[in-house]
Copies of this chain bind each other. A is one copy, B any other.
Amino acid sequence: MPGRTVGGLGEAGILRILNRRFAALPAAGDWPEGTVGPGDDAAVVAAPDGRFVISTDAMAQDRDFRLDWPAVSCGASRAGAGDHAHGFTGGYSIGWKAAAQNLSDMNAMGADATGLLLALTMPHATGVSWTDGLAAGIAGAVRHLGARRCRVVGGDLGSDDRITLAITATGDLGGRPAVRRTMTPEVPASDPVDLVLCGRAGWAAAGLAVLDTSRDELLDRLRRADPGVRRLAALAAAAQLRPRPVLGAGRRAADAGALAMMDVSDGVAKDAGRLALVNGRRVELDPDWVRSDAGVLEPLARALGRDAHDWVAAGGEDYGLLAVLPAGARPPHGFRRVGRLAPGGVPDGGGEGRGAEAAVGPAEGPRKGPGQDPDQGGWDHFARGD
């Protein structure tokens, strides 16, 4: 259907395009007695353990994603995030990433995702094939990342000059306690604890650097680099466009006795700083870990004139899992030690950043302890006054 746009299809026509993709998910047909599937004023979803996990994330065109990245031309399309025919810069990658970052939030609590809701606004001139790709990307992430219990349970359509997506995810803890950002059980303030990471760090940031380079400059820089660098560039672009949160690792860490956990959306340094702050400690990242992870990306960083250490320590959007373990505990399968939370931070006071005091968004205390700056590196939409 090349060239066709959604304008004039009516909401019903667009829903048919989206629903064809979502109905193909393994869990799509599974609506137990007493629940209500999509198509009503609201859905009714099972919450077998008497609770549900929920979070929401919004993405806007030109801020959180772009429609004009030259990824395909630099080889990213061969990097293989799934068995589909969609180009990397079409709707597929945007749908994938939006779903992935929401599934990651469920993972970070130790929960299995059970549902996604999609609030989508787009211009009338949006292509039918782009819209179909978006839905395929959402379904693709659910399927390929292994969220077997996850269905699309509802949504909302609107028209706007630009594309925005807000996805809400729900999850089920299967009777387990949630793993929070604050340590449970508490650990004496004088005891250090280990910081372990599952998943890659710095790859999405490297990918952003690749995608932000003009095609001509990129080809020129890659031509002058080692042969392996081109492949590295494609993998990094794929990591940015189709991040792969390590679903299941959250539950594994919970079973292994993780004291606290969060996913890495804003970079290890910043997110570890958040963990430190709410737990009254300071971060000590292991320089050997940074060096070791940066080593893999080093040839690409050199080719682009960038710093791989920065990517690893401060780069966001890889959606790895950062967990806190008792000092010396053996990391669960797939996790590696990246540092520790040491005594000496300014206690958060238990107020700001969680509980009744904080109703929206991630915990982020107002004060910064000596020797730490959780806002160092990483991304804050409103940190600058411009």
Q: Which residue of B360, B362, B384 contacts A7 across the interface (Cβ within 8 Å)?
A: B384
Given contacts A22-B360, A42-B106, A44-B54, could you give 4 more A-B pairs where the C-beta distance is less than 8 Å? A39-B361, A44-B52, A58-B158, A60-B160
Separation of A361 and B256 alpha carbons in the complex (Å): 40
Total count of chain A residues near the partner, CB < 8 A: 106
Number of identical protomers: 2
Report Cα–Cα, A381/B124, bound state, in Å. 9
- Binary per-residue interface labels of chain A (16-48) against chain B in the complex, 1 for a CB within 8 Å, 0 otherwise: 101100110000110100111111111111111
Give complex CA distance A355, B36 in Å: 8
Residues of B within 8 Å of A121, CB to CB, are 58, 60, 63, 164
Query: Would A19 and B359 be within 8 Å (CB), given that A11-B364, A42-B111, A43-B54 are in contact?
Result: yes
Interface residue ranges, A against B (CB under 8 Å)? 5-16, 18-19, 22-23, 28-29, 31, 34-48, 50-60, 63-64, 105-106, 108-109, 111, 115, 117-121, 124, 151-160, 164, 166, 168-171, 173, 177-178, 180-181, 261-263, 352-366, 375, 380-386
With A8-B383, A44-B178: A55-B360 Cβ-Cβ less than 8 Å: no
B263 touches A41 (CB 8 A): yes
CB-CB under 8 A from A366, the residues of chain B are: 12, 16
Tell me if B10 and A383 are in contact (CB < 8 A).
yes
Does A19 lie within 8 Å of B51, measured CB to CB? no
Whether A117 contacts B58 by the Cβ 8 Å rule is: no
Task: A118 to B40: give the CA distance in the assembly, Å.
Answer: 21
Q: Is B23 touching A382 in the complex (CB atoms < 8 A)?
A: no
Nearest Cβ on chain B to A18's Cβ, whole angstroms: 5
Contact, CB under 8 Å: B117 / A168: yes
Distance in angstroms from A8 CB to nearest chain B CB is 3
**Contacts A29-B356, A154-B361 hold; do A53 and B60 have CB atoms under 8 A apart?**
no
B41, A105: Cβ atoms under 8 Å? yes
